[in-house]
Amino acid sequence: MSNSKSGLESISPIVLSVLRVVTALLFIEHGTMKLLDFPASGHPGPALFSLFGLAGMLELIGGTLVALGLYTRIAAFILSGEMAVAYFMAHFPHSFFPTLNGGEAAVLFCFVFLYLSVAGAGSLSFDAVRAKR
């Protein structure tokens, strides 16, 4: 039995980086929509010191850190917690089932960010560059 990695195992750190970037870019869009009304949601921006404003700031700043792969573990852990809180505050009261309460995205973001907080940023990240130094 050989100790070399198979083709798929060898690209796993790159695919992890792709998952991180795509997830973060989708997440950033939620923050820009809350704070900057882009893409246009029809709702004016919230007060920054409101719960909705805090969520927008976390999504924009935390999402940017995760997209860059900079301080990924801590940023992803915080964002995972934000999504758990968002799910239980905004979605769960309407129904137990995420497909009925509109909370599928919150659940997915929560668990992808939880995974990234454990797995790290992958090979294509500022965290990887910092680790080499």
Instruction: Read off the pLDDT of residues 88-132 as tens digits, 9 standing for 90 and up.
Output: 999 999 999 999 999 999 999 999 999 999 999 999 999 999 999
Structure tokens at 72: 């990924």
1 band by pLDDT with thresholds 50, 70 and 90? very low
Say if residues 69 and 124 touch (Cβ distance below 8 Å). yes
Would you say how long the chain is, in residues?
A: 133
Question: pTM of the full predicted structure?
Answer: 0.90
Mean pLDDT of the chain: 93
4 band by pLDDT with thresholds 50, 70 and 90? low
12-36 as b/e: b if 16+ CB within 10 A = ebeebbeebbebbeebbebbbbbbe
Domain ranges across the chain: 9-124
